[in-house]
């Protein structure tokens, strides 16, 4: 998967320490490419997250293209930004991560990942 000219080599699912909400970041060869979720002061179910459309304007396209989640219709404002709430497809995210990592290790010398 390529985003803005960077090869994405992994998807990390973790949790924010403040309230244990789901955090998702994308890795590239240089390290963390982007954290695609934001942690607002609200406790969410494990399969829910606000997406960082402020810093990652492309994130909703990626979620739709790969079936990684669905917009719930709810958004929340923080400062001057409005963040959409998504119901995450954690199984699909983990499957895509496995696929990306497999292809990366097979084709890492070619510097292009085809997903």
CA distances for 57 relative to 28, 61, 64, 82, 106, angstroms: 18, 9, 13, 12, 30
**Structural domain harbouring 60:** 2-110
pLDDT tens digits along 52-71: 999 999 999 999 999 999 99
Q: Is residue 104 situated within a structural domain?
A: yes
pTM: 0.87
Q: Is residue 115 situated within a structural domain?
A: no
Overall number of domains in the chain = 1
pLDDT tens digits along 6-52: 889 999 999 999 999 999 999 998 889 999 999 999 999 999 999 99
What is the phi/psi pair of residue 110, to 5°?
A: -85, -15
């Amino acid at each position: 998967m390529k985003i803005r000219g960077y090869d994405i080599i992994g998807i990390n699912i973790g949790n924010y320490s403040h309230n244990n909400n789901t955090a998702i970041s994308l890795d590239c060869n240089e390290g963390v490419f982007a954290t695609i979720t934001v942690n607002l002061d609200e406790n969410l179910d494990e399969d829910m997250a606000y997406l960082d459309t402020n810093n990652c304007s492309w994130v909703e396209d990626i979620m739709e293209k790969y079936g990684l989640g669905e917009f719930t219709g709810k958004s929340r404002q923080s400062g001057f930004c409005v963040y959409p709430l998504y119901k995450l497809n954690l199984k699909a995210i983990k499957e895509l991560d496995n696929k990306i990592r497999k292809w990366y290790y097979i084709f890492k010398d070619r510097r292009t990942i085809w997903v």
